[in-house]
Copies of this chain bind each other. A is one copy, B any other.
Amino acid sequence: MGKLFSKTYLALRQEILSGKLASGKSLIEQTLADRFEVSRTPIREAIRQLQREGLVESNRGGGLRVTVVTIADAIHLYDCRLGLEQVAAMGACENATAAQLEDLQDCLAQANLSDPTDPSMRSPNNVDELENRLRIDQSFHRLLADSSGNPQLADLLEQVFSKMALLRLTTTYQNPDVLEIWAEHEQIVAAIVQRDSQAAAIAVRNHLVASKMRVVQALQGLKTEASLQGIALF
């Protein structure tokens, strides 16, 4: 029952999100078809879907490639989130169901579980632990988007998140402090629970402005580091 294109879509997506297919890598239909042992047709369909999600973009001069996210893009994406997630938070104050509020709180609980005041956990060198936290963070923001009761909004945010996921591939491992976020998340949830949309919007704004700053700093750190080694990152 599993359509071939959806299998290859999932596989490709996984490879992109895991970095196995690096940012900027150009996608050749025949090559992929050979690798996945299907014809070009399902590959094309899979690529189209990835294009819709923003994980694949067209190379200048024709051809497709895995989307490249530059520092400038990162900033721009954060600004998009800033606009959209404030609206989402206000929507959530009006429309979040009891179940959704619980889910949000569960998310916080899960995060706290792995984030005691133990300083060794604050900046874990453990990659699994980091990935786990990232997953929870993504869940949180996705949950927030869904709670807004605005599917159009959730859709747009999903696209932004996809591209940010690409970004994190290069960033977060280098910058565990990005995970100061949980106190900020708690403020957001608190405001939503109280159905205080002004406070929620402000909390989201604070969170995203701070996150943006953290990430940009991390990226610029990476950049100078890379340029010292003569690596062209962006």
List residues of chain A with CB under 8 Å of any chain B CB: 45, 48, 51-52, 73, 76-77, 79-80, 82-87, 91, 150-153, 156, 159-160, 163
Q: How many copies does the complex hold?
A: 2
Among A51, A85, A91, A156, the one with the most B-chain Cβ atoms within 10 Å of its Cβ is A156
Query: Roughly how many angstroms separate A76 CA and B91 CA in the complex, as a whole number?
Result: 10
A6 to chain B, nearest CB (A): 13
A191 to chain B, nearest CB (A): 17
In the complex, the answer to whether A76 meets B156 with C-beta atoms within 8 Å is: no
User: CB < 8 Å: which of B79, B85, B150, B156 contacts A150?
Assistant: B79
A150 to chain B, nearest CB (A): 4
Please name the residue on chain B nearest to A75 by beta carbon.
B150
In the complex, the answer to whether B83 meets A79 with C-beta atoms within 8 Å is: no
Can you show 26 pairs from A to B with CB atoms below 8 A apart? A45-B48, A48-B52, A51-B52, A52-B52, A76-B150, A76-B151, A76-B152, A76-B153, A77-B152, A79-B87, A79-B91, A79-B150, A80-B150, A80-B152, A80-B153, A80-B156, A83-B83, A83-B85, A83-B86, A83-B153, A84-B84, A84-B156, A152-B163, A156-B156, A156-B159, A156-B160
